[in-house]
Amino acid sequence: MPAPITSEQLQPVSPVDRTVKVALLVPLTGNAAEIGQGMLDAAQMALFDLGDDDFQLVPRDTKGTPGGASEAARAALADGAKLILGPLFSSSVGAARPAVQGAGVSMISFSNNPTQAANGAWTIGFAPDNQVRRVVSYAKSQGINRISVMAPRDGYGEAVTSALTTAASDAGARIVRTERYDPASTDLSPTVQSLASGGPGSTDAIMLADGGPKLRSVASLLPAFQVDPAQVKLLGTGLWDDPTLGTEPALVGGWYAAPDPAARREFEQRFEATYGRKPPRLATLAYDAAALAAVLARNGGPAPFDTLNLTNPNGFAGVDGIFRLRPDGLVDRGLAVMEVTPSGNRVIDPAPTSFQTLGY
């Protein structure tokens, strides 16, 4: 017969700590502090929307430097973070990743540099691969078979031209001409002339992998070299996601792929009503990452951030549309196809709501 329990043996049982800590590594001081603060504010919005009492967001200042990011990551891990969101800059991701991976913790960074992607370390920034693939696929469906490209001779231009080669092959189109230029050049006339040297009718579309004043300058030069934007479709990347592009007549009618602006508009309105200022463009990345973490922490079981949960092939629905984390560290996104008009850019092919409809 068991011996009776005495009062001396009775001890209060400590409550189980169910807190799930997720770290957010962003620049809160330094040159990028305004962006970092906006991303932190957006992440806090996501917690208000989707978090519960057991979820704790742990902000850490990267100072916008690789050394600061490495220090922030180590501090977050020492504090018990089970998932790292951030950092923002590519060099900071490279500096923080060894400590994070060494601790067996996953990292969802905000970089758009695919070279920083790895198993267990995702880059969810707006990389050109998804944008190029989407707009090329749509263009092919509209009868475009021959594509030329003009891109800067830098990392971004290399990423676009590489993505275009793959996307064209997958879609059944072909690349007929590639022109690269020094991104510091102030006179792109020779490059545009070379691009147009095939003569009228030699290409169906031209991808211009640039944005801002450089894009406007290139587009304005095309008619001078007998490239008629009414006959040759101009294609772009996410750098075209600028509602004022239609003020350059040569760009009107051009296509590019980007997140559907409608959902982002609602987020921006909520952010401004909450914080009294407009959010930085990258704030949606922080919102979506924090929302994903909060949902998995609540519904993902005893190991909410394991690879199986994070790489759910059905993906997740965010402010910037559907997205899914791939096992190789890259991210698939469902984007809309946009057309440049004089009064702003409009959706001409809606963003998909399921990855089953994308065929990849």
Residue-level pLDDT, tens digit, the chain, 360 residues:
545 555 454 455 445 557 899 999 999 999 999 999 999 999 999 999 998 888 999 999 999 999 999 999 999 999 999 999 999 999 999 999 999 999 999 999 999 999 999 999 999 999 999 999 999 999 999 999 999 999 999 999 999 999 999 999 999 999 999 999 999 998 999 999 999 988 778 999 999 999 999 999 999 999 999 999 999 999 999 999 999 999 999 999 999 999 999 889 999 999 999 999 999 999 999 999 999 999 999 987 889 999 999 999 999 999 999 999 999 999 999 999 999 999 999 999 999 999 876 655
- Closest by CA to 172, choosing from 122, 212, 137, is 137
DSSP 3-state of 274: helix
pLDDT of residue 11: 53
CA–CA dist 352, 90 (Å, integer): 29
CA–CA dist 201, 229 (Å, integer): 12
pLDDT of residue 330: 94
Q: Which CATH superfamily is domain 20-125+263-329 in?
A: Response regulator (3.40.50.2300)
DSSP 3-state of 24: strand
pLDDT of residue 8: 52
pLDDT of residue 360: 53
* Strand 121-123 with 83-85, pairing: unpaired
Cα distance from N-terminal residue to C-terminal residue, the chain = 66
**What backbone torsions phi and psi does residue 69 show, to the nearest 5 degrees?**
-65, -45
CA–CA dist 151, 161 (Å, integer): 7
CA–CA dist 112, 329 (Å, integer): 11
pLDDT of residue 126: 93
How many other β-carbons are positioned within 10 Å of the β-carbon of residue 223? Answer: 14
CA–CA dist 233, 228 (Å, integer): 9
CATH class, 128-258+337-357 region: alpha beta
Q: Fill in the DSSP letter of residue 351.
A: P
pLDDT of residue 212: 93
Buried b (16+ CB within 10 A) or exposed e, 191-219: bbeebbeeeeeebbbbbbbbbeebbbbbb
| Domain span(s) for CATH 3.40.50.2300 in the chain | 20-125+263-329, 128-258+337-357
Cβ(275)–Cβ(41) below 8 Å = yes
